[in-house]
């Protein structure tokens, strides 16, 4: 009979002692965060631009008792990750683009069975194989991609520091709430080098929720305890509904406590700029510069895309109903915003789209765009480019 | 033969398979093998989507029912995370040879220490009797209404032979049949022993029956299994790392029913 995990974590050194300044790639940051969070297994399949997550993990993790498997595809990676988690290990994976599509199947199983999988997505251009470089086109796929209700938690960090912080946090939140938790990065963040402060979560008093096995429990099943029988297939509609309702209720009960955002320069603002991830960072920089030049602008940067911090945005738009939505996609964030602000406000808000699917966006171009809007040189765009009816 | 292996969960019997279904017999053989090795307390039993899912509460063993074709990776993930667990992946021929075939091939290449059981009933049963990779030449199904034509649909897949063709050292590959439950149980026991001894992967195909989708009576069901199926899919061990101790043992295995 076995009751404990065979990984003897205590025999290995702590991956990050105290604090350490570093200058590294985003993919490397992900690995250090996973190690610091006590991750034990990475099962993954190569795809650019997340490859280095696997490279660094397979190189570094064995020193800390970590295991690695390069699987035959993302279906295998995802389902093996679920198997490892159900066996009680802190497993995670990383992917991008077409890999994110294949990951929908294991993510859907995780939503139904409350399996705390952590997945890092480094967005690349789409649709299809497109580019291996960059985009923000995997937002809908990441938050609503499965055949279900989007019962997931999705962080969108904008810097390497946030990448570290939120990857660490993802391991805590996933196991605490038992919903799939995703960190949505992109190819620029993955491949860019930047300063980051790595820290041992324990040294900051941060506790990462411990793992709990679903199977391989102590005792003889049927003698000392009931066997653990896990399933996701049900015979009739009512049976499914009965199973699903408490999961959905749980999700919406915890959702308010999970929402995160950053906002700034709202006083007297006549235009709000919004963007997430690395674009949110350009938005913040642009707003700072514009304010320095005396232009009345503010910013709102969602850090969780699911659940979306809509109520904060509603409060902001109540005072200033003009919004410049900036994203490297054709309105995925904009649609999220329209869904979440909804109702009367939806119709009162003037939205200005700045959609560049698959293209990088700089603070400089946003400064120009905001000035043009404030100087009345931009119409609020409708129909073709941006319309709720096109959803 | 005991009517019910100890590892079966009595509370969930009678089981949910149709009368005359072979799944119950495969699981009987598996139960016997688990009893002999006394491993129920550290087994993780994985079931696919297909009629195998009806076994989600079948054993007094921790069980995960996963998606169609994905049982192999789930069990591999658990086994690699906790090597002391005994991993069993149980699925139909659609799950094993069609939608999940890449997992079967790669798990074999890696020699993953799990037991894969593929139930060959020549058909997609749960979805109502469509053609499977194992559907026999000329066999009529819902999606081969004029009989499987090798010109268009290819020849039936001999899974264990395929696996055996590149099985790495330490692998165990066999094909049993529900017409010989004792022998099937021996194969499954060997497959499990192979895992317990950390030698390599074990793949056991079980020829099985589906009277519901075959639309056969008891007599024709058995005839189809013992004649048509067994002619094309020969029963026996294909690859074994076990040394046959004596001629007698070999003879035993061939004669036991
Ligand atoms: C991704 C996916 N595709 C298709 C299905 C539908 N489906 C359910 S069971 C099954 C086939 C079952 O046949 P087999 O694996 O041979 O098992 P059996 O029912 O014969 O035991 C299919 C295609 C599914 N559940 N998931
Ligand atoms: S449909 Fe066929 S395989 Fe499925 S339970 Fe019935 S007899 Fe068995």
Separation of CA B126 and ligand 2 centre (Å): 7
Which of A165, A186, A204 terminates a domain? The answer is: A204
Give the rounded percent of residues in chain A with a pLDDT score beyond 70.
94
Nearest-ligand number for the alpha carbon of B20: 2
Which of A204, A221, A255 terminates a domain? The answer is: A204
Please report, in tens digits, the pLDDT of each residue of chain B (257 residues total). 678 999 999 999 999 999 999 999 999 999 999 999 999 999 999 999 999 999 999 999 999 999 999 999 999 999 999 999 999 999 999 999 999 999 999 999 999 999 999 999 999 999 999 999 999 999 999 999 999 999 999 999 999 999 999 999 999 999 999 999 999 999 999 999 999 999 999 999 999 999 999 999 999 999 999 999 999 999 999 999 998 755 666 666 666 65
Task: Report the candidate in B95, B96, B97, B77 with the shortest Cα–Cα distance to residue B87.
Answer: B77
Which of A204, A230, A246 terminates a domain? The answer is: A204
Exposure class string for A118-136: b at 16+ Cβ within 10 A, else e: bbbbbbbbbeeeeebbbbb
Q: Would you say residue A4 lies in a domain?
A: no
Q: Would you say residue A223 lies in a domain?
A: no
Helix (H, G, I), strand (E, B) or coil at B197: coil
Nearest-ligand number for the alpha carbon of B213: 2
- Tell me which of B46, B62, B102, B111 to substitute to probe the interface with A (most A C-beta atoms closer than 10 Å): B62
Exposure class string for A210-248: b at 16+ Cβ within 10 A, else e: ebebbbbbeeebbeeeebbbbbbbeeeeeeeeeebeebe
Task: Check CB contact under 8 Å for B63 and A229.
Answer: yes
- Provide the pLDDT for residue B245: 59
Q: Would you say residue A354 lies in a domain?
A: yes
- Provide the pLDDT for residue A345: 77
User: What integer best gives the mean pLDDT of chain A?
Assistant: 94
- Provide the pLDDT for residue A4: 38
- Provide the pLDDT for residue A11: 84
- Interface predicted TM-score of the whole assembly (ipTM), two decimals: 0.94
> Residue A180 sits in which domain range?
13-204
Question: Which residue in chain B has the smallest CA separation from A226?
Answer: B60
Residues A194 and A50 in one domain: yes
The total number of structural domains that make up chain A: 2
Residues A166 and A271 in one domain: no
CATH code: domain of residue A186: 3.40.50.970
Nearest-ligand number for the alpha carbon of B128: 2
Residues A198 and A273 in one domain: no
Q: Would you say residue A285 lies in a domain?
A: yes
Answer whether B124 contacts ligand 1 (Cβ < 6 A): yes
Residue pair A154/A217 in contact (Cβ under 8 Å)? The answer is no
Separation of CA A241 and ligand 2 centre (Å): 26
CATH code: domain of residue A374: 3.40.50.920
Q: Would you say residue A31 lies in a domain?
A: yes
- Provide the pLDDT for residue A380: 65
Q: Would you say residue A324 lies in a domain?
A: yes
Answer whether B45 contacts ligand 2 (Cβ < 6 A): no
Residues A188 and A297 in one domain: no
Residues A75 and A175 in one domain: yes
Cβ pairs bridging A and B (under 8 Å)? 155
- Provide the pLDDT for residue A347: 74
Please report the domains of chain B, with CATH numbers, ordered by start residue.
14-256 (3.40.50.970)
CB of A70 within 8 Å of a chain B CB? The answer is no
Q: Would you say residue A209 lies in a domain?
A: no
Residues A178 and A273 in one domain: no
Q: Would you say residue A238 lies in a domain?
A: no
List pLDDT tens digits, range A269-318.
999 999 999 999 999 999 999 999 999 999 999 999 999 999 999 999 99
Answer whether B214 contacts ligand 1 (Cβ < 6 A): no
CA dihedral A237, A242, A248, A251 (to 10 degrees): -150
Residues A30 and A153 in one domain: yes
- Provide the pLDDT for residue A383: 45
Flag residues of chain A having pLDDT under 70.
1-9, 380-391
Separation of CA B70 and ligand 1 centre (Å): 11
- Provide the pLDDT for residue B249: 63
The minimal CB distance from A81 to the residues B9, B77, B103 is found for: B77
Residues A276 and A193 in one domain: no
């Amino acid at each position: 009979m076995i009751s404990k995990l065979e990984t003897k974590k205590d025999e290995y050194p702590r991956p990050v002692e105290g604090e350490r300044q570093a200058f590294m790639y985003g993919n490397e940051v992900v690995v250090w965060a996973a190690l610091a969070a006590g991750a034990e297994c990475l099962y993954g399949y190569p795809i650019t631009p997340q490859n280095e997550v696997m490279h660094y993990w397979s190189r570094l993790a064995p020193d800390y008792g970590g295991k690695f498997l390069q699987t035959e595809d993302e279906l295998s990676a995802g389902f093996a990750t679920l198997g490892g988690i159900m066996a009680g290990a802190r497993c995670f994976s990383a992917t991008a683009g077409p890999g994110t599509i294949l990951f929908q199947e294991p993510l859907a199983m995780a939503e139904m069975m409350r399996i705390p999988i952590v997945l890092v997505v480094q967005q690349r251009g789409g649709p299809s194989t497109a580019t291996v470089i960059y985009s923000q086109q995997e937002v809908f796929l990441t938050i609503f991609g499965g055949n279900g209700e989007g019962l997931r938690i999705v962080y969108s960090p904008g810097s390497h520091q946030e990448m570290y912080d939120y990857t660490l946090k993802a391991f805590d939140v996933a196991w605490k709430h038992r919903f799939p938790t995703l960190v949505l990065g992109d190819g620029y963040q993955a491949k860019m080098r930047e300063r980051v402060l790595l820290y041992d979560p324990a040294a900051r008093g941060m506790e990462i929720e411990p793992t709990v096995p679903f199977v391989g429990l102590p005792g003889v099943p049927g003698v000392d305890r009931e066997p653990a029988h896990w399933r996701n297939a049900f015979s009739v509609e009512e049976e499914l509904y009965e199973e699903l309702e408490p999961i959905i209720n749980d999700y919406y009960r915890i959702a308010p406590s999970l929402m995160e955002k950053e906002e700034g320069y709202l006083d007297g603002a006549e235009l709000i700029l919004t963007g997430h991830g690395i674009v949110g960072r350009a938005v913040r920089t642009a707003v700072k510069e514009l304010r320095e030049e005396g232009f009345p602008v503010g910013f709102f940067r969602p850090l969780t895309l699911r659940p979306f911090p809509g109520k904060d945005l509603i409060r902001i738009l109540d005072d200033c109903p003009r919004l410049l939505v900036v994203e490297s996609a054709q309105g995925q964030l904009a649609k999220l915003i329209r869904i979440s602000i909804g109702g009367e406000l939806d119709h009162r808000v003037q939205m200005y789209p700045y959609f560049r699917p698959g293209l990088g966006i700089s603070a400089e171009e946003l400064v120009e765009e905001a000035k043009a809007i404030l100087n009345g040189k931009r119409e609020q765009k409708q129909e073709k480019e941006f319309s709720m009816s096109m959803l | 033969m005991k009517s019910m292996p100890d590892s079966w969960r009595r509370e969930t019997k009678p089981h949910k398979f149709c009368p005359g279904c072979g799944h119950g017999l495969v699981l009987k053989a598996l139960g016997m093998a688990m009893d002999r090795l006394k491993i129920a307390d550290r087994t993780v039993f994985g079931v696919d989507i297909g009629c195998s899912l009806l076994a989600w509460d079948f054993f007094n063993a921790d069980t995960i029912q996963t998606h169609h074709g994905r049982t192999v990776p789930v069990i591999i993930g658990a086994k690699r995370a906790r090597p002391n667990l005994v991993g069993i992946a149980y699925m139909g021929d659609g799950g094993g040879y069609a939608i999940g075939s890449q997992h079967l091939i790669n798990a074999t290449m890696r020699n993953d220490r799990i037991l894969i059981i593929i139930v060959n009933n020549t058909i997609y049963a749960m979805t109502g009797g469509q053609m499977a990779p194992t559907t026999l030449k000329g066999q009529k199904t819902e999606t081969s209404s004029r009989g499987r034509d090798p010109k268009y649909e290819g020849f039936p897949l001999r899974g264990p032979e395929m696996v055996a063709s590149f099985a790495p050292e330490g692998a165990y590959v066999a094909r049993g049949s529900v017409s010989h439950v004792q022998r099937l149980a021996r194969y499954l026991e060997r497959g499990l022993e192979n895992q317990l001894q950390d030698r390599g992967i074990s793949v056991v195909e079980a020829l099985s029956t589906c009277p519901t989708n075959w639309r056969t009576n008891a007599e024709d069901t058995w005839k189809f299994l013992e004649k048509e199926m067994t002619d094309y899919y020969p029963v026996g061990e294909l690859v074994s790392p076990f040394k046959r101790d004596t001629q007698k043992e070999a003879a035993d295995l061939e004669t036991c029913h």
